[in-house]
Amino acid sequence: MRSSVAVVDYGSSNLRSVAKALEYVADGQHEVIVSSDADVILNADRIVFPGQGAIGDCMRSLRAAGLVEVLQAGIGSRPFLGICLGLQSLMSTSEEDAGVECLDVFPGSVRRFRSDAGPNTDGTPRKIPHMGWNQVRWRRPHPLVAGIPSGTRFYFVHSYYVVPNDDALTMGETDYIDTFVSALASGTAFATQFHPEKSADAGLQLLKNFLCWAGQE
C-alpha cells in the first residue's frame, strides 16, 4: 500500500514544482496530494509545507483556511518538511510586514538580512534578497541529509532568515552577509530555507530521503 504525502495548499506559487519533484522521486511508491483540506492533511502519512512570498499573506491564508491548528498538530505527529516560508512560519514571530505572529512551533524569530553589509570579497555588492546557489554546512548527521555531503550547494531565494531560541535546533548553516540557519531539525520536523525542488540532484536526494524517513533523527 502506498503512503500518502500531503503538500499543503494555501495559495503559494511554488506548490506545483514541489509536488512534481516529490512525484518524481516517489517513483510510484507514494501518493502525493496537493490539498487545503484539514482532514486530508491530518490523515496523510507525511506533510510538506512549501512556500514563497510574504509571511503576512502566508499566515492570513493559513488562518482563513483553518490550517494553523492543523499544521501545529501535524508537525509533531508525523514526518514534516517545511520549505522556505515553511521554515520561517515555524518561528514565533517575523519582522516582515511590520511584525507577524507565526505558528510558534519553535520559539524564535525571523529577521531581515542587514542592509549595511559591505561588498563581497570580489567587490560585487551583497544584494538582498539572497538569491542563487550557496553552500550548506550540516551541524550533525540526519536521515534527510544521508548521501549529501556537508558543504553541498543548494538554491536560495529569500530576504529573511530564522533565529531559533534553541541553537540545538540548527541542522544546517550558510554564509551570506552573516552566518544564518539554513536548515532546522527537531523530532519529526525538518525544514529548510533553501528550495530542494530547485536544487538539482542534491535537492532531489533530500526529498527522496524524506519519503523514506520514519520521523526520527
Which residues does the annotation mark as catalytic?
84, 195, 197
Cα separation, 157 vs 19, whole angstroms = 19
Pairing mode, strands 46-49 and 3-8:
parallel
Q: Which three cell numbers stand for residue 174?
A: 550558510
- SS3 of residue 213 by DSSP: coil
Cα separation, 92 vs 108, whole angstroms = 5
Q: Which three cell numbers stand for residue 146?
A: 544521508
Cα separation, 40 vs 38, whole angstroms = 6
Which residues does residue 8 pair with via DSSP β-bridges, in sequence order?
A: 35
Residue with cell 512560519: 89
Residue with cell 520561517: 88
Question: Exposure of 135 by Cβ count < 10 A (0-12 exposed, 13-18 middle, 19+ buried)?
Answer: middle
Core vs surface per residue 90-117: b (16+ CB within 10 A) or e: bbbbbebeeebebbebbebbbbebeeee
